[in-house]
Amino acid sequence: MSPQSVTTRNAARQVRDVVFVDGVRTPFGKAGDKGIYHGTRADDLIVKCIRDLMRRNPSLPASRIDEVAIAATTQTGDQGLTIGRTAALLAGLPQSVPGFAIDRMCAGAMTAVTATAGSIAFGAYDVVIAGGVEHMGNHPMGAGADPNPRFLSERIVDPAALNMGNTAENLHDRFPEITKERADRYAVASQQKLAAAYDEGNIQPDLVPVAARRPAEGWTLHTTDEPPRPGTTMESLAELRTPFRAHGRVTAGNAAGLNDGATAALLASSEAAQELGLSVKMRLVSYAYAGVEPQVMGIGPVPSTEKALAQAGLGIEDIGLFEINEAFAVQVLSFLDHFGIDQEDPRVNRYGGAIAVGHPLASSGVRLMTQLARQFEADPSVRYGLTTMCIGLGMGGTVIWENPHHTDFGKDA
């Protein structure tokens, strides 16, 4: 092919709009031998999500799925063996449907979405499934890892960067105005907002019921999240110990727990969605990832959000809803303070967050998206929203979405 014909072909190619069609997740469980998924395989959790996506979208022929991208932070055992491909086969998708695995720690599912979305925009795919799974009971964070000794011997990273709790304490040090009292107050609000969202039926529609069998206990059908503590008070949080530092500020009450769970989303080009009669819950506007000092990884969403806003030609004032992953309260508060947003602003995590519902690492990015999509449907006055999260070893990721229910949807897009 001549250089001229290549140039002509590339000039004719247009970037296509990418839409979020649907998203589901399992109820999240507590990791460990007392959790609801003790004895359950990780790959079985993600298979349930894929099957439920197909059930909820009957107009989509399984043969039209072009890719299955599934993330896991610990890619071994029941989370290994190229889990995107194995999950597709186990879910009963045609053998013609390929799949792959992704690891970007906490932003695994987010990266599964953005990586496949880029391929849709380019024209390589029409319809994809993207998601993540983490069974922290079967695979504790960092288990089996062998960090290169150069990280410490050459001071590439601070030793504290290898423990996420320590990085949160470092963030408190960097921003002393973010006190333990503020972090606890934020955590109580997260629990209250999630409880209210459950009461109003805003969480249940996207939960996949999971029948799980615990050793020697028989089967139970799980339809709600296990981690929430709706009775949490400032007084109860004040009594918790600070495990990462004596007289510290990070506790089990103002941080996400160790959890098991899976998520999956259906993405498509706008043309394919229209052709196949698929719903459109959000349109992808822009996304960005950024690196920061690993020892204060929680600040990562700030530069990634600045990059995503710049790409979209938007300002922070244009964002009407924020879904921020609550790995630690201090991480969310540092983001809000940077952008001048009050921690009680009703645009922030309306349905609660990971402090209440849990954070099964690589799965959480799609939970943020699914909750944002529900809020878009409930509030057509909001045009733009974002999902953002901090990422281990010093990164942040942000995705900006447009609400199809807004009167100006698609204009100047």
Cα–Cα nearest to 261, from 22, 24, 21, 20: 24
Query: Which residue of the set 139, 172, 222, 390 is catalytic?
Result: 390
Known catalytic residue at 139: no
Query: Which residue of the set 106, 135, 172, 222 is catalytic?
Result: 106
Known catalytic residue at 49: no
Positions annotated as catalytic residues are 106, 359, 390
